[in-house]
Amino acid sequence: MELTIEGVSKQYRGGVWALRDFSLRLRPGVLGLLGPNGAGKTTLMSILATITRATQGKVLWNDIELARDPDAIRSVLGYLPQDFGVYPNLNALEFLEYLAAVKGLDFATSRRRIEELLNLVNLSEVRKRPLGGYSGGMKQRIGIAQALLNDPQILIVDEPTAGLDPEERVRFRNLLSELSGERVIILSTHIVSDVEATATDIALISGGRLVAHATPEELLRQVEGKVWEDVVPSNALQAAKQRYLISGTARRTDGVHIRILSATSPNGAQPLAPTLEDAYLFCLNAHRVGGAT
């Protein structure tokens, strides 16, 4: 089971490139596709889900090129797009039954699967309520359920925790981890904590280009010895932000504690253990600086 992305680029009208020469090879596990808004994550997800065609390059699922045979992946694909729409007059049960029929599931299998999924996303008690009356978080949970209807071999979720409360977010993270054994899962997000909790591999994307592809441990090693803490008065915070790459601040009684990313130790700063967010910001900054030179 392998998903291969080879030199994929996507150009939109007006000459805007959303992706440039993007290559990646994925096997079972959770890939955290991490990048700022506008980095090209959603465009890549649309290409992998066969909704959008690449301008250049190709995508292969088990050596079958998707541009030539998109059905090769559609039958084993679960997809939750960033902008997931529902039919407001249908209730959760009717909506999932409809989508199960679209995906070709037989009635007995779909009913059993729908019951499991409604329990999984904690919506069993409101299954008969029209979706138009659901909150944003509830609609997102229905989106997660529909993506899992056909027990997919490849699951693509684009900003899946948007609108979820903290408890629901933890529940979804645990679900992704449980599902990851025998399938390829791509979690596209700009929320570092979602990736940190679930991903076995991380791909950093910026400006439509792949910045890094590594395990979380490998990314953390890249910033080992490059994270520092200093304390400055509140009126010196702006000057510190102009001087250093800062990944976090915390106000205390003795001043503002700032988390600095630097290859050399700032005067008086104390070393800190790196976090994944430190690694993310450090890699993105290095890419931007390198691209500007």
User: pLDDT tens, position by position, for the chain (293 residues)?
Assistant: 899 999 999 999 889 999 999 999 999 999 999 998 889 999 999 999 999 999 999 999 999 999 999 998 998 999 998 878 889 999 999 999 999 998 888 888 899 999 999 998 889 999 999 999 998 888 888 998 999 999 999 999 988 887 778 888 888 888 888 887 789 999 998 889 889 888 999 999 999 999 999 999 999 999 999 999 999 999 999 999 999 999 999 999 999 999 999 999 998 899 999 999 999 999 999 888 875 43
Residues 64 and 290: their CA atoms lie apart, in Å, by 36
Tokens 């465009």, residue?
43
* Domain end point (choices 159, 191, 215): 215
Both 194 and 163 in one domain: the answer is: yes
**Pairing of β 77-80 and β 29-34:** unpaired
Rounded to 10 deg, the angle between the 136-147 and 107-120 helix axes is 140
What is the total count of domains within the chain? Answer: 2
Both 124 and 25 in one domain: the answer is: yes
Residue 102, class by beta-carbon neighbours within 10 Å (0-12 exposed, 13-18 middle, 19+ buried)? exposed
- Tell me the residue range of the domain where 162 lies: 3-215
Both 150 and 174 in one domain: the answer is: yes
Candidates 15, 24, 49, 59; CA nearest to 210 is: 24
- pLDDT tens column, 174-193: 888 888 778 999 999 888 98
Q: Model pTM? A: 0.88
Q: Taken in order 156, 62, 149, 8, is the CA torsion positive or negative?
A: positive
* Domain end point (choices 215, 243, 266): 215
**Cβ proximity of 41 and 211 under 8 Å:** no
